Amino acid sequence: NAGVTQTPKFQVLKTGQSMTLQCAQDMNHNSMYWYRQDPGMGLRLIYYSASEGTTDKGEVPNGYNVSRLNKREFSLRLESAAPSQTSVYFCASTLGGTGGGNTEAFFGQGTRLTVV
Amino acid sequence: GENVEQHPSTLSVQEGDSAVIKCTYSDSASNYFPWYKQELGKGPQLIIDIRSNVGEKKDQRIAVTLNKTAKHFSLHITETQPEDSAVYFCAPKVGAAGNKLTFGGGTRVLVKP
């Protein structure tokens, strides 16, 4: 019972490089989310996907793109990494769907990204 | 969208004392009120939640109280222990499926032995 799995756990990028953070959940959840957490800060929503086939911007979407590949997987892409994107990235999922709006969010273990 | 604020941002308590964290929200349609605990190096985990038809819920040493009129809810931890040291987040949510999941800024709790 893996829950939410994120890969990689750590990554160092050079400015201008691109990369994709992967997230997969095995709980048959409808809604998935990407957050960033800077040191000493809260969780800021980057993008979310209410259901398969839909994505919406959160508070801080600039510099990121997402893909809801299927119901299980939701990836986050940095096209041209900048030092300001150094952060810990968390993926989360909730049951969502009809009648499932008010349910617990499950988080992955996070990806620590450093852009130099 | 939902505007969520937590107070205080940091809280230092002596082991055995109580800790209270308050979360205020703006959307009167919110009807789900969870609290998450984040330990160092890990993702947040749900510790307790309450729905809008209930005013208070307890689970051993933790409790959540809700004041829908004033649009705030609080996390209460009694008889604090060192393992309660963590960052705590609230995330009030509007019930319709697919709405954004917005977290408060977090409260860092330090329990001193």
In this prediction, residue B85 carries a pLDDT of 97
In this prediction, residue A70 carries a pLDDT of 95
A 60-99 residues inside an 8 A Cβ radius of B: 90, 92, 94, 96-99
Whole-angstrom distance, CA of residue B81 vs CA of residue A59? 35
Do A33 and A44 meet the contact criterion of CB atoms below 8 Å apart? no
Q: Does A27 touch chain B (CB under 8 A)?
A: no
pLDDT band at B3; cut points 50, 70, 90 = confident
Dihedral of the alpha carbons of A40, B47, B67, B94, in degrees to the nearest 10: 80
Do A46 and A76 meet the contact criterion of CB atoms below 8 Å apart? yes
Q: How does strand A111-115 pair with strand A10-13?
A: parallel
Distances in Å between the Cα of B26 and the Cα atoms of A66, A80, B29, B71 are 28, 35, 9, 7
Q: Which of B93, B97, B104 sits opposite A50 (nearest CB)?
A: B97
The low-confidence residues of chain A, meaning pLDDT below 50, are none
A8-40 core/surface letters (b: 16 or more CB in 10 A; e: else): eeebebeeeeeeebbbbbeeebbbbbbbbbeee
The answer to whether the CB atoms of A109 and B43 lie below 8 A apart is: yes
Q: Does B43 touch chain A (CB under 8 A)?
A: yes
In this prediction, residue B53 carries a pLDDT of 79
Q: In what order do the strands lie in the sheet with A19-25?
A: A4-7, A19-25, A74-78, A64-68
Chain B residues touching residue A59 (CB < 8 angstroms): 102
* Residue B14, SS3 per DSSP: strand
DSSP state of B103: -
Nearest CA in chain B to A110: B43
pLDDT digits (tens, 9 = 90+) for B17-51: 999 999 999 988 888 999 999 999 999 999 999 98
pLDDT digits (tens, 9 = 90+) for B67-105: 999 999 999 999 999 999 999 999 998 766 556 788 999
In this prediction, residue B2 carries a pLDDT of 75
* Residue A83, SS3 per DSSP: helix
In this prediction, residue B95 carries a pLDDT of 65
Q: Which amino acid is at B106?
A: G
